[in-house]
Amino acid sequence: MYYAAASVFVFALFIMFYSSFTGKIDVRPVAPPPLKKIMPEPNKPVKVIRLMPVQKEVTPAEPNEEDFEEIELISIGGIVKDTQSNLLQDVSVKVLTDGLTRVFKTDANGLWLWQDFDPYDINGVQIFASHPAYVMPEKFQKANPDQLKNLAFETVLEKGISITGRVVDWQQAPLQATVIKGPFPTANSDIAQCDANGNFKFSKAEEGIVILTAQCEHAAPAVIPVEVKPLMDHILITLQPSASIMGQIIDINGAPVENALVTVTSWQGVQSLNFSTKTDSQGYFRWDSAPHDEVLFNIAKKGLMSIHNYPMQAGIQYRVLMTAPFKIKGKIISGSPTERIVNFIATTGYYFEKEKFVWDDANSVVFTGDNYELNITEPLEFKIKLQSEGFQTLESPVFTPLSSSMNYDFVMHPEY
């Protein structure tokens, strides 16, 4: 007993001496226990266990159940459909929270589901849904919490495949080119402007073969066929050095025609190439960003007969003759001896294509009396429409401007 007491006394002296010498005693902290998940029994709610911050003496003892709070996990989800409300399968849905990102696939009912979601993050959920056959969204969607809880958050995808590409010159330098989709572009969505790095994008292309036309100042244009399909590769379009097409427009007297409009209509079978210019005071025009092969042009000047699809190519100095317009004139006769035609409106219409007839209402002419004379400035089949108050509207048969002029009289009948 005496020896035991002496041992304790000696050990206490050692501790006092060591403390006074070093000023501290090494006490190692005990790390807090990690987050612990308790797997549920079948048919019971899923719960996650979080540590509660408790102020107590740190000991290596195991934590008690009182040190945790129990949070019930929930399921969230939504559906993906197209613009026709068809449910979409195999859509990739990226779900972003404040601290976690998960990716899901929609099932046959267009449903995606996150089954063990922590409701603490419900207010910060963002959704990004994508499918190779549909237009890629520009950004994440902010999701409605209640709709997520009810598995009813809707995402709508628009049918269409994205075409992305880049335009460079013959030295692989990027070009801020214009890229046109389709051989006969009809809308702004068919035109893309490359950025400073030469990149362009079309968002709503249909699957199949599409024609792309790329053109830029000081480079020859290019026309390429592209196979549009899901997950298609990035397209590279290389433009080559340009050529020059030039010429002079003159009238039947050999005089230069100033301000004649020269416009590209077709090249390599497509009407997507864009260029137009006007002649100078000496009737000259020049295009320095032209291709090396043949291009078709329209040439127009008010008061002269237009020229359609005139072929020109680089390396030739053209001298193009514009002729006088075709003239049609005659009398307008009343079909009733008691009704007199005081004045009337004459409008010309043209068959620009076999099935495409257009009335040129903007250039209708008002005549007083019973005589008319019209200048036909398009080398196309045409008709004339006559309108006069109290008389039935009259349309002529189809005329062809083969000669320089013709006479034709009309009979207009009263409306009664």
Residue-range definition of the domain harbouring residue 92: 74-157
Condensed to tens digits (0 to 9), the pLDDT of residues 146-164 reads 999 999 999 999 888 889 9
d(CA 209, CA 198): 23
Close Cβ partners of 171 (under 8 Å, ≥ 6 residues apart): none
259 located within any domain: yes
Q: Which of 110, 126, 157 is the last residue of a domain?
A: 157
276 located within any domain: yes
**DSSP tag of 64:** P
Q: Are 67 and 78 within one domain? A: no
Q: Are 121 and 172 within one domain? A: no
Phi, psi (rounded to 5 degrees) for 47: -130, 145
Q: Which of 157, 187, 207 is the last residue of a domain?
A: 157
Condensed to tens digits (0 to 9), the pLDDT of residues 62-104 reads 555 555 567 789 999 999 999 999 999 999 999 999 878 999 9
146 located within any domain: yes
Q: What six digits make up the tokens of 172?
A: 């692989």
Q: Are 247 and 216 within one domain? A: no
User: 215-249: b or e for each residue (b if 16 or more CB lie within 10 Å)?
Assistant: bbeebbbbbeebebeeebeebebbbeebbebbbbb
Q: Are 148 and 113 within one domain? A: yes
Q: What is the CATH number of the domain that holds 348?
A: 2.60.40.2190
11 located within any domain: no
Q: Are 293 and 361 within one domain? A: no
Residue 297: helix, strand or coil by DSSP? strand
d(CA 400, CA 408): 13
Q: What six digits make up the tokens of 163?
A: 């075409």
Predicted local distance difference test score (pLDDT) of residue 3: 45
Q: Count up the domains in the chain and report the number.
A: 5
Q: What is the β-pairing status of strands 356-359 and 365-368?
A: unpaired
Of the chain, the percentage scoring pLDDT greater than 70 comes to 83
Where residue 359 falls among pLDDT bands split at 50, 70, 90? very high
Q: Are 284 and 362 within one domain? A: no
**DSSP tag of 58:** -
Q: Are 97 and 152 within one domain? A: yes
Q: Are 340 and 386 within one domain? A: yes
Close Cβ partners of 2 (under 8 Å, ≥ 6 residues apart): none
Predicted local distance difference test score (pLDDT) of residue 69: 62
Residue 5: helix, strand or coil by DSSP? helix
Residue 347: helix, strand or coil by DSSP? strand
DSSP β-bridge partners for residue 266: 296
111 located within any domain: yes
Examine the pLDDT at 28 and tell me if it is beyond 60. Answer: no
Q: What is the CATH number of the domain that holds 309?
A: 2.60.40.10
Q: Which of 308, 227, 236 is nearest to 271 (CA)?
A: 308
Q: Which of 92, 123, 157 is the last residue of a domain?
A: 157
10 located within any domain: no
Q: Are 384 and 333 within one domain? A: yes
DSSP β-bridge partners for residue 51: 68
* Total-model pTM: 0.66
Q: Which of 379, 406, 303, 362 is nearest to 396 (CA)?
A: 406
Condensed to tens digits (0 to 9), the pLDDT of residues 200-244 reads 998 888 888 999 999 999 999 999 999 998 888 999 999 999 999
- Other C-beta atoms within 10 Å of 125: how many? 22
192 located within any domain: yes
d(CA 375, CA 358): 17
- Other C-beta atoms within 10 Å of 311: how many? 10
108 located within any domain: yes
